[in-house]
A and B are shown apart, each in its own frame.
Chain A
Amino acid sequence: MKKITYIMLIAIISAGALGCKKFLNVTPIDNLSGNNYWQNEADVEKFVNGIYIKLRSRVLNNGSTFYTFADIRCAPVVNSANIAGFTNLINNDLKGAIASTNGDYYFYNFKAATEWKSYYDVIGSANIMVKEVSDMPASAISDETRKRYIAEGVFLRNLCYFLLVRMYGDVPYYTNAYNDQPLGRTDQIAVMKRCIADMAAVKDDLPITYVDASQVGTRAMRGAAIALMMHMNMWAAGFDNGDKTAYYQEVVKYGQELTSYADYGLLDYTIDNNKKIFKGNTKESLFEIVSNANYGEVISQYDNPSIFFSKYPFRGTATTTTSQMYYTVKFMQKVFPAGSSDLRRTLWFENADLGNNTFQLKKFSNTYPTGTNNSISHDDSRIIFRLPDAILLTAEAAANLDDNTTAQTFVNKVRARAQAIPFSSTGDQLKDDIYYERVRELFCEGQYFYDLVRTKRILNSEYSDHPIGVADFNAGAWTWPISISALANNPNMTLNNFWR
């Protein structure tokens, strides 16, 4: 009897004890909950796609900050259609731009550019993904896949930190998942250094390219990670007052690594290839954001630079006979002189140096008609990093290291593709040549203003029609204002004082 009782007691208690962990794990039916997520690779894949969506919505949806704000700010552009706020932007009067009627407008939202939360949405989700994937049991995910996903998460968060630093200077930095601490801002050079270390540690876990052509360039690849590290090094070199040699050496090293991969290469400039390059998924793609009307994944047309610099048949309807903005004659004649041979001039422009609103940019030429009046919409994927960008950074770094030969080799790769005369200059002339080559090659690809800032050429009226004074620059005139929403629940936060 006592034995039976004993057994019964044991049975009752152990049944309760063993069953309860499973019992307490609830599976809700209306949504997925974290305790039932992260079970297999498919869960990770879907979550990663979700992070890319957040990145896309930040970088390229309304609040067109990625391309146009970078291309037009302090640029030699004439706002001929007088779109509210853009003349202010051209003059680096961001407060005026925000106060204008477009300040809070749905399409060109200057105010939205002061909100940095959406970058942190990507960072927060990437941090969660990195942590949860690290914690998944070995039975759920293979080691190789786990490493790749972690590296992808690390890439996405570092990309956002880079984009944040370029816009706001010092930014709060964290890599832990589910952070709830009110962090203050970290010095931008320190952020860049930590990001570089973070990225370098897992860079080789990323594939060089993908077998699935649709993933080439659109998902994190080793090339993208390298390009990101090169950019971060160059940015840190621009602001670090100490010895910059190490940064440049890193960039040259990575540039050489990047060009050694057979999977990356430059396409010849033809009309067809031009379309392919900016549609994406080519050998030249390092990282880009998907836009594809066939998938129903359409990005705001207001982000595409062609919105300002094109007319029918590249934008609008048959009645759209003028562009909204154009580049000044002086600038166009300097960058794309009519006499010298350069495929890019003919391929990308109509009426390049007339200095009026018949100016047309044809660089982004993947278009499709929509609506009853056949309004033209753009369907280019949005390039974040392209191989020539990385090659030119290598050239720039090499020139800064006074390694003229390497610099020339790299810059002339880009020039050769455009069938332009190779550079043979040296020293400061070469540095200027490389700078202008970047302006040329990356025309309207969201690099112009950041190159000016990074190289401090923004201080010099020779390079910029709307230069920033040294004192203003040091006070943060090159940054964007940070919205006061950053102060909410964060006693450690400070804003960009220049804009207050």
Chain B
Amino acid sequence: MDTGLKTKQNILIMRYFYAIVILLLMGFFNLAQAQEKIAVTGKVIDASSVKKETIPGVTIILVATNQVIGQTDNDGNFRLTVAGNAELKFSYVGMAPITVKVNNRRNFNITLEPLNSTLKTVEVVSAGYVTKTRTLSTGSIMKISGSEIQGQPAGDVISLLQGKVAGLNIQNSTGAPGFRGSVQVRGLSNINVSGAGNSAYLTPTSPLYVIDGVPVDDNSTFSYGFQQAGPGTSPASQIPAEDIEEIQVLKDAAATALYGSRGAYGVILITTKRGNSKVPVVRYQGSAFLSTVPQLRSVIGGVEERNLRLRQIMQYDSTYYHALGTINAIDFLSDSLNAYYNNSTNWQSYFYRPTYNQNHNLSISGGDVAFNYKVALGLYDEDGVQQNTGYSRYILNTTMTYNPSRKFKILGQLNNSVQRQQTGSGNGIFNTGVATGGSSSSLLPPPSLYSSVNQVQGATESDNDNKTLNTFAVVQLDYEILKNFKASTVINYTNITGTRDNFVPASLNGGFANFYSYNDRSTKLYNRSSLSYVYTINDKANEPAHNFSVFAFTEINSSNFKADAILNDRTVNSFIRGPITHNPSYAETLGGTLDNFTDFRSVGFAGQFSYNYKQKYVLDVNYRVDGTSTNGPLAGYVKNPSVSVKWNFDKENFLAGNHWLDYGDIRLSYGSNIQPNGSIYDVYGRYFGGGAYNNNQSVVIDLSRLPNLSLQPTKNTTLNAGLDFSIFKNKLNLSFDTYYKQVDNIFRDKGIANINSFSNVTTVETSNVNYGWEFQVNSRPLNPNSPFKLNVYANLAINKEVLAALPDGARQLIALDPDFAQDIYYRLGINSLSNFLYNTKGVYNSTADVPFDPMTGKRYSTGGTGVRNYFRAGDPIYTDLNGDYILDANDRVVAGNSQPQITGGIGALLNYKNWSIEVNGSFTLVRDILNNALAAQFRNFNNPTRLGNLVPLAQYSYWTGVGSNGTYPNPLDYTRSSIVDPFRYGQTLFQEDGTYFKLNSVKLYYTLNKTFSSKFGINRANVYVTAQNLGFLTNYSGPNPEAVTALGRDSSGGYPLSKQYVLGLNLEF
């Protein structure tokens, strides 16, 4: 430990020391005045609530000493031991304080009136690991209540937040059941791309999930099945929406400060429901839903396909006789009577089907303040619309709280889930088998016992079962050592076991069945021990004026991951699947521990100091010091400070007594967070056995990565300014935030000169900056007394991203895409992920339009150093950037940004008596998509002698001859494909605007009359109908502008998002 930290702790200790001394003195004073004491219990009720809702967290002050002696619990109950003649003051934010005399009463209820009768609820926001009221929270935080996301089936609950939080960009890029799309808080945080072509993907930067106070990092290996061999379900997805009390999205550094060691990508807090009723409550929430097959691509079938191919060859082949020769040489073109080639098969229809699915949740909760419990059972079963895919989840979550005295509280939680995922022949994200299978020629016979197209069999017959067993246990102990001085400790153990069984039948694998068996285990042990202290100094009027709170904790995290796999390349036959068979192919049969083993440890020390003056001026200071096992020894501990201030201007005197402002505040914050990078090997190097020399054992160092002893974690520094206000009795609430977010030390592999022996070094020299504006508006425009209740919300986030630094001070880098030549251009000062493409300006209407070199008189041409191919009518017009009349790789332009720049959503909820209807939608504006699916369709015309399906061309405007103006070059002239390649992937012709508005869901609820339902012993019952993923408003020509990769590539192999129709029932007994 460095000495700097120790000094700080000493200061902390001294502060505690003085506080303790003061408290002790006050305690004696209190004792002297005490008379005979009685136990008093009661309840605090919100007068403004029709349902007589209770208020938790009401401060109870002993008037005689002006000392806080307690507060109400979650149900608004209090229990105190006071003198029989004591006078108690109940106060709560936004409520008029009330003073009562005990007069030896043992039990009484208190009703608090709101200060401003329209401010009905006071939001309690959790900032960090401490709970604060909305008034005192200084961070940029958005809260979503659990009820807002219920009534929609989802394998992953986070996807339901789409369009609900400004600055939280969720793209449901895949419809595969149980998989999640991309989740980004405030723009791009990592610019690294791996893979090529359609499978190029962006390094994910999911926010940190904090589930009931326990951080769960979603960026670990197990979360991304497509990246690593593994089942790939997110730990956050084991929580059903029905079990969620609320979700909070923490966006700026002030809010996420305390989660420093992994909070660089934002933090999402998930709080699950707790038991809180004396009478046990049984809730059942169930739904059945129908997933429908999305619009499939239209293809040309049967004789029309053959005729089109014949037309292509007859019209465009070099000579008439060569055309005849070509046709006669190809059996499926010339032999139209051959039964094998005389079909009209719709291959896509063999992959997709509508499915009926179900979702059931049952919870039992009960207990009182001293002891309460909740048990939740859940079942979710969804079959994918694509054959052989699906996701099912079984959960059993239990919670217990034991609170025998005000000083001591113990909370236990145990969540279990079993998840099963089937991904067919794809990996869930990409379904290349389906893509190639579905694009087979319609001339081939449909599958029966025999299948002419292997991929169809592959998608329907190969097994890919992924099972995840997830256990999540938490124990929390709270103890109040002294008055207002609390100690708390949380211990969490998480164990996730994943298995994957992938079986490929012999017919798909060259006559040998192939069996891959994988299992992994990840464990995490987490402990946080904290001390908190609250202190208040009253002013002359004896009102609390100066409020201090100090919170300090240590955090320890240890996580492990290990995966083993065995590949049995040649099993005996397609029926014996175990790997326990004689194996003739020992060379291809592999097994062992995979190289993605990780063992990660971190410790953190954090402190928070909060001060407010009459809740008017709020100051928060956080300081966090983190050490991780992957920090280089030269990098040391990382220190993350944050400072934030808030001015609640509604509490100023000049605004006192106004009737239009409900609340208003201005927030400013600055702070930083980190995210650990790399592994222990990146820091210290990997050593392994290297054979024998002179009959002695040796060890060598892995030369692929140079140890980087000064490896730093990624650091996110955010500046945020915010304004919140609510006016005209809640008719309009508005939050506005503007931010500047700088992500430094982005982890990147950098090639180094070969004289250094090592081929790469991991550097943290890359930086980018996001800045933007976020608006969140909520309105209840109708009169509160109206039987109609309408709530309308809208949010909008504008994010601008700029690349700020590259390794070695480079000003630009190009990430090559060897498959599709859709390179990515990194240049400082512009958005990081620009496409680098040929610029297509249209189609040459006639050959005379092709420019010619005035020096040589030769037409604009392409080709290598040898043969020149001159452009002519019907060819695409590519910009000749360097003006040399030769098209080559130097003529590409930086075009487009694959990242969404404006995202948001709107929604409305209308209540009328027993009915309510909710509609919500989300949108993404200013985003460029590369329509690779369309390019692939045009490319199918490139070779009429190869079997593959063809799309009808009528809907596309293409060049058909001199005088015709087409957007696309002539696809029928296949002879141009090999020389000019008019349908190359890397051109702006296929870059389209991906702006869309999506209607996410429409929900209609009907609550049964209580008098009716109580006849059946049901406390509350409602039924609902939901339709989700209803459709898009977009100019994009592809099927779905959302189901594209994070890099904006729309591949035909993507899993379609289906429309779903839900019929649901909620019962409470």
Residue A45, interface by CB 8 Å: yes
Residue B697, interface by CB 8 Å: yes
Residue A125, interface by CB 8 Å: yes
- B809, chain A: closest CB distance, angstroms: 11
Instruction: Report the bound CA distance from A16 to B531 in whole Å.
Output: 14
Contact with B along A174-204 (1 / 0, CB 8 A): 1000111111000000000000000000000
Q: Is the CB of A31 within 8 A of B756?
A: no
Q: Is the CB of A116 within 8 A of B17?
A: no
Question: Could you say which of B24, B481, B753 contacts A489, with CB atoms under 8 Å apart?
Answer: B753
Given contacts A5-B482, A10-B13, A17-B5, contact A29 B562 (CB under 8 A): yes
Q: Is the CB of A9 within 8 A of B700?
A: no
Given contacts A9-B13, A33-B686, contact A125 B700 (CB under 8 A): yes
Please choose the segment from A19-27, A347-355, A442-450 that sits at the chain B interface, where 4 or more of its residues have CB less than 8 A away: A19-27
Q: Is the CB of B694 within 8 A of A215?
A: yes
Q: Is the CB of A53 within 8 A of B16?
A: no
Residue B914, interface by CB 8 Å: no
Residue A485, interface by CB 8 Å: yes
- B518, chain A: closest CB distance, angstroms: 16
Instruction: Report the bound CA distance from A9 to B700 in whole Å.
Output: 46
Q: Is the CB of B694 within 8 A of A31?
A: no
Interface centre among A34, A174, A182, A219 (most CB of B within 10 A): A34
Question: Could you say which of A2, A47, A172, A488 contacts B20, with CB atoms under 8 Å apart?
Answer: A2
Residue A403, interface by CB 8 Å: no
Contacts of B685 in A (CB 8 A): 33-34
- A15, chain B: closest CB distance, angstroms: 9
B753 nearest CB neighbor, chain A only: A490
Residue B761, interface by CB 8 Å: yes
Please choose the segment from B212-220, B360-368, B701-709, B1056-1064 that sits at the chain A interface, where 4 or more of its residues have CB less than 8 A away: B701-709
- B4, chain A: closest CB distance, angstroms: 12
Q: Is the CB of A28 within 8 A of B599?
A: yes
Contacts of A74 in B (CB 8 A): none
- A426, chain B: closest CB distance, angstroms: 44
Q: Is the CB of A488 within 8 A of B751?
A: yes
Residue B32, interface by CB 8 Å: no
Q: Which of A40-94 contact B (CB under 8 A)?
A: 43, 45-50, 52-54, 56
- B914, chain A: closest CB distance, angstroms: 55
Instruction: Report the bound CA distance from A350 to B556 in whole Å.
Output: 76
Q: Which of A208-241 contact B (CB under 8 A)?
A: 214-215, 218-219
Instruction: Report the bound CA distance from A415 to B556 in whole Å.
Output: 75
Instruction: Report the bound CA distance from A50 to B686 in whole Å.
Output: 13
Q: Is the CB of B1 within 8 A of A31?
A: no
Q: How many residues of B contact A (CB 8 A)?
A: 67
Residue B452, interface by CB 8 Å: no
Given contacts A26-B629, A34-B685, contact A489 B696 (CB under 8 A): no
Q: Is the CB of B761 within 8 A of A180?
A: yes
Q: Is the CB of B688 within 8 A of A32?
A: yes
Instruction: Report the bound CA distance from A12 to B694 in whole Å.
Output: 53
- B764, chain A: closest CB distance, angstroms: 13
Contacts of A116 in B (CB 8 A): 754-755
Contacts of A178 in B (CB 8 A): 706-707, 709
A35 nearest CB neighbor, chain B only: B684
- B627, chain A: closest CB distance, angstroms: 5
Residue B977, interface by CB 8 Å: no
Contact with A along B715-759 (1 / 0, CB 8 A): 000000000000000000000000000000000001111111110
Interface centre among A1, A20, A219 (most CB of B within 10 A): A20
Residue A30, interface by CB 8 Å: yes
- B813, chain A: closest CB distance, angstroms: 12
Given contacts A2-B17, A12-B554, contact A53 B698 (CB under 8 A): yes
Q: Is the CB of A485 within 8 A of B5?
A: no
A492 nearest CB neighbor, chain B only: B753
Instruction: Report the bound CA distance from A57 to B692 in whole Å.
Output: 12
Contacts of B697 in A (CB 8 A): 46, 49
Please choose the segment from B137-145, B539-547, B601-609 that sits at the chain A interface, where 4 or more of its residues have CB less than 8 A away: B601-609
Residue A493, interface by CB 8 Å: yes
Q: Is the CB of A52 within 8 A of B751?
A: no
List the 10 closest pairs (A to B, CB-CB), nearest first. Answer: A34-B684, A124-B757, A49-B698, A490-B753, A50-B700, A32-B687, A50-B698, A46-B699, A34-B685, A17-B1
Binding site for B on A (CB under 8 A): 1-2, 5-6, 9-10, 12-13, 16-18, 20-21, 23-35, 37, 43, 45-50, 52-54, 56, 115-117, 120-121, 123-125, 128, 171-172, 174, 178-183, 214-215, 218-219, 290, 292, 295-297, 485-486, 488-490, 493
**A/B interface sample: 21 pairs, CB < 8 A:** A5-B481, A12-B554, A13-B554, A17-B5, A24-B602, A30-B597, A32-B686, A33-B681, A34-B684, A34-B685, A34-B686, A49-B699, A54-B700, A116-B754, A124-B757, A171-B755, A174-B755, A214-B694, A295-B692, A488-B754, A493-B753
